Amino acid sequence: MPTDLRQSWPAPTNPKPIVIIGAGGIIRDAHLPAYRQAELPVSGVTDVDHRRARALADDYGLSNVYPSVAQAANANGTSVVYDIATPPHVITNILPNLPDHAAVLIQKPMGVDQDQAREIRQICRDKKMKAAINFQLRFSPMMMAVQTAVMSGRLGDLLEIEVHLNIFTSWNLFPFLIPMKRVEIAVHSIHYLDSIRAVAGNPDGVFARSMRDPRAEDFAQTRTSVILDYGDRLRSLMSINHNHQNGRKFQSAWFRFEGTDGTMMVKLGVCYDYPNGEADELWFCRKGGNWERIPLEGSWFIDAFMGPMRNVQRFDNGEDSELHSGVEDAYQTMALVEACYKAMKHPAEPLLVD
């Protein structure tokens, strides 16, 4: 069993305080618990809903509540790291208010589409920001272990990457998604596309369909099929169904990474009975051997949320040479998402039986 697989991002030596922009649920449920666990200091918060910002500050003992993003930036300059956790369509309004050369972590997705992602990238370039997107699944213990195993040749030549979800997601937990035209890929499966890219790089192209389901009729799409074209050597596909209402027995949520010398299976525990979830799991099988479970140092929720902020902090102080999910790389994930939506507009090859 491999015991030397990297599962976490190293901590910064001298972390800067963090200022939160946006005091919503993801901050309460993931960011702040992860930062507390990682001993990363958080000094302040701002939100368009001042009462929500004040409540967050009171609950987490934050020293400062700023009336606006501009006032937070004026008060702190580049002495802090800004953690933006807002709806994606307002990111382009927030970034111009932050100081040049600021260190910034931006909640995914990188805008609502590739055009906004391009605009976000340009703002970050113009202001010379040290900016990354919070694609945290690639920082989870299980996915970091997979990345290490693949890059070190532990699986041999990579031949298969498959994502399979057949689960029940309570979509009523996300009413803000109801008016959105792009839902499943843009909000959920974007994590899987990004994690595949982190392991295998960019595909040459993509085939995709994402669709509505009458069991979640208020939402534009809750089922997705994707084939990623990596040529004639690596096969990669995703089959996603969020509407399985027939009990736990045949639910599934996993990645399969298979190579010439071995295979790894990743269980996405948080997907079962979300947001309660189950434990993540990582399994490894050498070619012809037995399956062995690899102990994990944590989970996607909340441990993965430590990694992106640690990486931004370390890049900002010179301890890391690159941003693992920097805006330049994250833009390519947004381009892949856009390619999926464009592929949906192309008709399938008709079946000719005469």
pLDDT in tens, 36-74: 999 999 999 999 999 999 999 999 999 999 999 999 999
pLDDT tens digits, 160-192: 999 999 999 998 888 888 998 999 999 999 999
Residue 154: is its pLDDT beyond 70? yes
User: E strand or H helix at 142, and its extent?
Assistant: helix 141-151
User: Cα 338 vs. chain centroid, distance in angstroms?
Assistant: 16
Per the structure block, which two tokens stand in for 296? 């994990």
Residue 34: is its pLDDT beyond 60? yes
pLDDT at res. 276: 87
Residue 350: is its pLDDT beyond 90? no
For helices 327-343 and 114-126, what crossing angle results, to 10°?
160
pLDDT at res. 227: 98
Distance CA 272, CA 14 (A): 37
pLDDT at res. 61: 93
pLDDT at res. 1: 55
Distance CA 124, CA 354 (A): 56
pLDDT at res. 175: 86
pLDDT at res. 173: 84
For helices 190-200 and 327-343, what crossing angle results, to 10°?
120
Instruction: Map tokens 């997107």 to a residue.
Output: 133
Per the structure block, which two tokens stand in for 54? 């004040």
Q: How confident is the model at residue 111 (pLDDT cuts 50, 70, 90)?
A: very high
Reference 320, options 79, 98, 13, 4; nearest CA is 13
Q: What is the mean pLDDT of the chain?
A: 95
pLDDT at res. 280: 97
pLDDT at res. 39: 96
Residue 288: is its pLDDT beyond 80? yes
* Nearest-5° Cα angle at 110, 27 to 180: 85
pLDDT tens digits, 189-232: 999 999 999 999 999 999 999 999 999 999 999 999 999 999 99
pTM of the model: 0.94
pLDDT at res. 3: 66
pLDDT tens digits, 67-100: 999 999 999 999 999 999 998 999 999 999 999 9
Across the range 237-260, mean pLDDT stands at 97
pLDDT at res. 347: 85
pLDDT at res. 2: 62
Distance CA 154, CA 263 (A): 9
% the chain with pLDDT above 90: 90
